Amino acid sequence: MIRFYALGGLGEIGKNLYVLEKDGKILVLDCGLKFSDVPGVDFLLPDFSYLEKRAKDILGLFLSHGHEDHIGGVPFFLQKVKLPVFGSRLSLELVKANLGSRATEYEFVEVKAGESQKLGPFKLDFVEMRHSIPEALGLYVETDEANIFFTGDYKIEVAPVSGKPTDFKALASIGERGVDFLLADSTNAEPAMMWNGGASAGDCLTEQQVYELLAKEISESSGRVIVSTFASHIDRIQQILKIAEKEERSVAIEGRSLIRNLKIAEKLGYLDGLGHRIVTSQTLESLPREKQMIIASGSQGEPLSALVRISSGIHKRVRLERGDKVIIAAYPIPGNERAVTDVINSLLYKGAEVRFIHSSGHPCTGKDHQLIMLNLIKPKYLVPIHGEWQHLVGHAEIGKRAGLPGENIFLLENGDVLVYEKEEGQPRVKKHGIENVGALIVDGILSKVEAAVAIKERMKIGSEGVVIVEAIFDEEQRAWLVDTVMLGVVTDSSQSSVSQTLNGLITRMLNENPPSDQKEIEQRIASTVKDYLKGMNQYPEVVVRLNSI
């Protein structure tokens, strides 16, 4: 029996974690994080609790590439389950950097495209895939019951500016060997009816076109240029450094994750000998502005990132001046649009020119990349992964265009289990077969609280405010003393009178009709506050604290 399910990555962008199971033995595919737009939440992780219970059955974790939405959860997962981690050299180096000194505690197995590995009931073949970071790998999994191809993230790019293209020969060979299930990247695929024949997000530039646009914007700039991109977008950074070399600009790096990743990339030979163009911020400041370039973190509007601090005028070293050009070389991740827009507005207000130049590292639907993949692999069944529902549904439509019958295309949610037994023939889906497929929040430390609960509370406090009631029982006087504090509920001018009214209502209720136990006290205090404020059309979060003297 083969089972496939996801703990993250279906119906969403981020926290990718997919699981293949054969006769009770488990292979985990990727383990990423998801960025959050909720104040106080650094990022979200898949809920590992099911895999923790099955720890003895897990044979290993395969990493398709080194982006955070595929590797960012690994340090947290390894705290729960010790297992070998398979991946390319770059992917493993990035994970080790996230682990820091703890990296020596775990087993890492470096694999390369073209190699094979036997892991329990799984025979693994690793395939070169083109993406926006080097050493991205697809995975062909053979078993005695069915064969599976997992694309990871990919893009069809025949002649990339740098790095290797997708290995089409290997993909065609896999198609001839036979693929039962294709687990394929759905990013950029949208249902045809959404666009009525117009251009969609699936229409994207080639990397050569991106390089030429970047070169044009930078060469035409008479002042300083700031380029912001993902810290893990090694290919894009290579392009920027090549242009800096051609234009004789020196480059300062702003952002800890960028600095860390570039050190790894240079160590592995991915900066094409252009590391000499990188200088310190102090050295850059001494040069004419037309010779300055900065590569900065913050393309997603992250609150403490370099670009956000530059745009808001609080960066220690970089001050924007009129005539500076800022190039944002990354698309906003869904959920980050507002933060990115705020950054752009701040940059424009301070007189900077702003440009967006980017191309997706994922399949371009407008260029039929997903259709090409289907025609190469020729699967019996398609399972769209890695995308929001619009992408999954759009990918399913492409599957039908490739000739797959609708009953051979499976649109799954996180937690659904696709079950295949050769004797039965047609796979079946067990809806919500895996429980606890929510998210965990990280806000400095890993929380054991489901993200949905914590986020709901934070958003309510942010939008409606909070009332904190401290009720103290004076045992000598046998009476209650009450103090109420409100934040974000009413105006400053009316806060004192509203607090006094609430204090009186709560004190009278407690002293005249005392509740029987602590839980009832808390409930009745909260109800008194909510009932009163409801008349003012206010619905804040209410926190009750009880003490005695």
- The enclosing domain of 143 has a CATH number of 3.60.15.10
Q: Which of 297, 330, 356 is the last residue of a domain?
A: 356
Low-confidence stretches of the chain (pLDDT beneath 70):
39-40, 192-203, 444-454, 549
CATH of the domain at 532: 3.10.20.580
Residue 181 lies inside a defined structural domain of this protein:
yes
Do 179 and 378 form a contact (C-beta atoms < 8 A)? yes
> Burial, 285: exposed, middle or buried (Cβ in 10 Å; 0-12, 13-18, 19+)?
middle
Residues 390-420: tens digit of each pLDDT: 999 999 999 999 999 999 999 999 999 999 9
Strand bridging mode 466-474 / 250-254: unpaired
238 beta partners: none
Which amino acid, 206? T
Whether residues 367 and 352 share a domain: the answer is no
Whether residues 133 and 214 share a domain: the answer is no
Whether residues 411 and 506 share a domain: the answer is no
CATH of the domain at 260: 3.40.50.10710
Residue 459 lies inside a defined structural domain of this protein:
no
Whether residues 291 and 142 share a domain: the answer is no
Do 427 and 420 form a contact (C-beta atoms < 8 A)? yes
> Per DSSP, which regions of 300-378 are E strands?
325-328, 353-356
Two structure tokens written together for 170 = 């290997």
Whether residues 400 and 323 share a domain: the answer is no
Whether residues 366 and 331 share a domain: the answer is no
Whether residues 231 and 150 share a domain: the answer is no
- Tell how far CA 401 is from the center of its chain: 30
Whether residues 438 and 518 share a domain: the answer is no
What is the pLDDT, as a whole number, of residue 450? 54
307/228 Cα distance (integer angstroms)? 7
Q: Tell me 539's DSSP state.
A: -
Is the Cα dihedral 143, 145, 151, 152 positive or negative?
negative
Whether residues 165 and 123 share a domain: the answer is yes
Do 183 and 18 form a contact (C-beta atoms < 8 A)? yes
Q: Considering the entire predicted model, what is its pTM?
A: 0.83
Residue 108 lies inside a defined structural domain of this protein:
yes
Nearest Cα neighbor of 29 from 43, 16, 46 is 16
What is the pLDDT, as a whole number, of residue 198? 41
Q: Which of 392, 424, 454 is the last residue of a domain?
A: 454
User: Tokens 């796979």 map to which residue?
Assistant: 427
Residue 202 lies inside a defined structural domain of this protein:
no
Q: Which of 454, 479, 511 is the last residue of a domain?
A: 454
Residue 200 lies inside a defined structural domain of this protein:
no
Whether residues 324 and 367 share a domain: the answer is no
What is the pLDDT, as a whole number, of residue 2? 96
Do 208 and 161 form a contact (C-beta atoms < 8 A)? yes
Nearest Cα neighbor of 249 from 223, 230, 212, 229 is 223
User: Tokens 């009720």 map to which residue?
Assistant: 471
Which structural domain range is residue 539 located in? 465-548
What is the pLDDT, as a whole number, of residue 453? 66
265/284 Cα distance (integer angstroms)? 22
**Phi, psi dihedral angles at 434 (to 5 degrees):** -110, 125
373/369 Cα distance (integer angstroms)? 6
Q: Tell me 12's DSSP state.
A: B
Whether residues 241 and 156 share a domain: the answer is no
Whether residues 58 and 154 share a domain: the answer is yes
Two structure tokens written together for 410 = 């499976």
Residue 201 lies inside a defined structural domain of this protein:
no
What's the number of domains the chain is made of? 3
